[in-house]
A and B are shown apart, each in its own frame.
Chain A
Amino acid sequence: MRRLALALILLALAPGASHAADAASSAIRGSVKVLKKGVFGAIGASDDRSGVLVYVTGYEESAPREEVTLAQKNERFVPRILPIVAGQKVIFPNRDRLYHNVFSVSPTLSFDLGQYKSTDPPRTQVFEKPGLVPVYCNIHPQMISYVVVLENRAFTVTGEDGAFELRGVRPGKLALNAWMPGAQRVTQAIELAAGAEVTAELVLEQTQRIPPHLRKDGTPYPPPPDYGN
């Protein structure tokens, strides 16, 4: 599922990438490691390194004209994490039989697209300001997607192996960042020469704020039968 989403994003980004290659084909390559706290507090590297947003800050680019899709499918937002460039338009198609809604109460961007079904024309929203805009459905509490509005197009979301490659990055003194929900952003200063390629290794520590109480099938527990521990 995520790979499919990733493929879609890459497809969407493809015209941008070719545009960047015109200026200077500098690239940043590397991988991220995700450390997770175990049950007894031991920290170990997670095998699943997917879903980590890797992006570069330090310069601004105009948003691509293409719309980005954040679909509602199986009562989930797909993808869960959606990096876009500021000013870019996101289209929210409903691919479920049911009604869905898209809204956010983020200080960066507060909006509500109302409730609509799959046969309705998909609603769209332009994200002007950079920042994190969590997007919810007011019908389904488990539906959340993190729309990360960035300054430029140098970003990607890792796959399971954690490897990343950013092409068409503008050279200069930059910062390479990695973030995922539930983890503190890690950042690394990078000096990128034109046409050069830099390799970076990022270690992300997922802060286990509250261990989710989930059943084996992944659904939350019903209200507790008694109180206390």
Chain B
Amino acid sequence: MAARLRLRFRTKVWIVLCGLVGAALAVALLVAQDAALRRVRAESRARFDRTLVAFHELQLLRARFASAEIDALSRANPQLRTILSTASLAGADLGVGVAKPEDALHDANLRLQSALPSLALDPKLVVFALANADGRLVYSRADPERYGQDLRALGLVRDVAAGARATWIWLDSDARVGDARLAPAYPSPALYLVRGEPVVFGDEVHGIVLLGEPLDRELLESLRAISGVDLALLSRRQVLATTLSTAQEGQLPVALARLARRKTQAPQGGIDEVRLGSERYLALRSELDPGTPEADASFLLLASLADEIAAFRDLRTTFLGVGLLVLAVALGVGYALARGITSPLALLGRAARRIGAGDLDARVAIATGDELESLGDAFNEMAAGLRERELIKTTLERYVSKNVAAELLRDPGRVALAGARRELTVLFVDLGGFTSLAEELAPEVVVAHLNEYFDTVCGAVLEEDGTVKDFQGDGVVAFWGAPIAQPDHARRAGRAALSTAARLERLRALWASRGTPAAGYRLGLHSAELVAGEIGSAERGAYGIVGDGMNLAARIEGANKLYGTRVLASDATRAELGSEFLVREIDHVRVVGRKQPVRLFELVALAASADARARRICELYERALGAYRERAFAESARILDELLATAPDDGPARVLRSRVTELQRTPPPPDWDAIFALETK
């Protein structure tokens, strides 16, 4: 796997295109070649047939010509026919006279020798032989002095004697009877087309005339002129005449032997391919018509493939040129195509890496108008989505804990941002006396201090999975129970309040060590049914809570000032806190703008960590508060004095002691309900 070949997309496209173009060209070339070869074969076959027909026609003409010649000679020339007739009668031994048959033949021969120069005989007709009615040679042009041989040794003469006109093809070695030659002696073998006809007038058979001319190169040339096919005349595998060049003729026997061998193995329509030197030919061997067993002559027809091969080479060159052109175009197109895909991909890759590295502002600009563009759009949407979620997450985390934020992001269905009535606990935190402090300090120091303060508060709130609603000056509002439901919202708020108080205590110590005047702080808790949701305009909104409970919470926070306490909670919150906390009731008050009085409780500490003194103080205070409500002011004063003896700084006790003293002095009216009107905000 490690050694796997890694190719660029462009290279792959090129390879595929090259392969396709190459394959297409190769197939086209093969098809064209096959078609060309087929066509050439068919054409050659037709040309061969034409050649053979032409030869046949030519021989027909020659035979007619010979026949006409014989007729003319014998009919118009009294010499010839009477000499022949007389020679035919030489054998008639009548038993009288002294003339012998040989004498008659001799005389006839001599007469013909004498007459021949005056016979208008075509010099091409080298075979011109006359026999008497018995078939005995009277005269031969090729061998004028001989006579008397019995020509019935020749098949042609036998055919004629049997009553037919006949045309035979002779090999010159066939054209001899005894010591008489009927055809001229050539240094090389030759073929002759010989016509034989009887000379007959009325009942009289005067004799036989043989007339023939050679099948020579001249004839083959004229055939070639007709059909454009090269020819070779063969007899017993011997080349008698050919239109081929001497060099090619020399290679014919080898080619013929190969052809004969091949033909026995796989005959395929008679047409074969032979090679003569560097030239290729289609070849067909055909018997001569009329065939003769004696001459065993045949034609070899040769159609040169040179032109065809040249044409095919041209075709191949054209194909190659076209192929290269197509390939170049294909490469260009492939490059463009690949670029069209790879450059957006590379863009996407780079952008994805940037996003991986945390740069959520990475975007791609792809305008190809196809799937890639939608991919780019999708990528951008994804990046935007990531950016948004990241923004939401970081923003959320400033107001809500990571847990809540994660919960929100994981399951947005759990939050009803649209607004819902929820049982919540609200925490108000305020830094007392900071406003006046801010005027004394440098602005940077103010901001630094505020930030430290907010960090402290927010840290404590978020630790308990609370949501920081907003900052108002030096105040912080936080709540529990939204946006995700928290059944223990009051307890969480209580823990957070105690934790905040402890941290602010440490912060005060820190600030004091820096020389910054100490500031007081106040925390108020209230639980109520409030509306939670996305509040604000379309552009600028925040998740928040609204309701009457908010004001009460602020009043409760403010009440700390009166009692000198740190953390106060409403009775509603107190009811939810359970036994986890050490709590003492402080007072029953009626706040400004609210008819319904509210009981105030101080969160002293976590029950688990509360010491005996604190518990004692709480117990004493609640007893004193109970006596106070029973109008037992003296009793209340006594308990409070006892308490103050233990904890002289206990704010609520001092407040209540002074109120009791006042009531002792001027007793309240009978309808006194022990509800204190809280005038300050």
Contacts and interface: CB of A to CB of B under 8 A. Distances in A.
Interface stretch (B9-17, B91-99, B598-606): B91-99
Interface residues of B, number: 51
A57 interface: yes
Nearest to B84: A105
B94 A209 contact: no
Contacts of B67: 223-224, 227
B515 interface: no
Interface in B123-171: 133-134, 159-161, 163-167
Contact of A223 (B59, B64, B79): B64
A101 to B, nearest CB: 8
Interface in A120-136: 129-132, 134, 136
Interface centre among B81, B166, B201 (most CB of A within 10 A): B201
A108 interface: yes
Contacts of A149: 96-97
B77 to A, nearest CB: 9
Nearest to B165: A224
A106 interface: yes
B111 A132 contact: no
Nearest to A148: B94
A15 interface: no
Given A105-B111, A108-B99, A144-B85, A228 B167 contact: yes
B674 interface: no
A154 B281 CA distance: 79
Interface in B200-231: 200-205, 208
B163 A211 contact: yes
Contacts of A148: 94, 96
B81 A179 contact: no
Interface in B47-93: 59-60, 63-64, 67-68, 71, 74-75, 78-79, 81-83, 85-86, 89-90, 92-93
A159 B83 CA distance: 30
A142 interface: yes
Contacts of A226: 60, 63-64
Majority secondary structure, A binding face: loop
Interface centre among A105, A137, A149, A150 (most CB of B within 10 A): A105
B195 interface: yes
B204 A105 contact: no
A213 B90 CA distance: 23
Nearest to A112: B78
A59 to B, nearest CB: 12
Interface centre among B90, B165, B201, B202 (most CB of A within 10 A): B202
B156 to A, nearest CB: 12
Interface centre among A104, A134, A146, A209 (most CB of B within 10 A): A209
Nearest to B159: A229
A103 interface: yes
Contacts of A185: 92-95
Contact of A213 (B75, B99, B163, B290): B163
Contacts of A107: 86, 90, 99, 103-104, 107
A140 to B, nearest CB: 9
B198 interface: yes
B195 A227 contact: yes
Contacts of A181: 89, 92, 203-204
Contact of B71 (A57, A108, A209, A223): A223
A57 B93 CA distance: 13
B101 to A, nearest CB: 10
Contact of B83 (A105, A177, A227): A105
B249 to A, nearest CB: 30
Nearest to B207: A210
Contacts of A211: 163
Contact of A141 (B74, B133, B134): B74
Contacts of B83: 105
Contacts of B64: 223-224, 226-227
A228 B63 CA distance: 9
B200 A138 contact: no
B119 to A, nearest CB: 15
Interface in A83-136: 101, 103-108, 129-132, 134, 136
Contacts of A131: 94, 96-99
A102 to B, nearest CB: 11
A187 B95 contact: yes
Nearest to A177: B95
Nearest to B67: A223
B290 A228 contact: yes
Given A57-B95, A134-B89, A228 B68 contact: no
Nearest to B75: A141
5 contacts: A132-B92, A134-B85, A138-B78, A212-B204, A228-B63
Interface of B: 59-60, 63-64, 67-68, 71, 74-75, 78-79, 81-83, 85-86, 89-90, 92-99, 103-104, 107-108, 111, 133-134, 159-161, 163-167, 195, 198, 200-205, 208, 290
Kindly list the 10 A-B residue pairs having the minimum CB-CB distance in the complex, ordered from nearest.
A131-B97, A227-B63, A138-B78, A130-B96, A130-B97, A210-B205, A142-B202, A211-B163, A227-B167, A142-B201
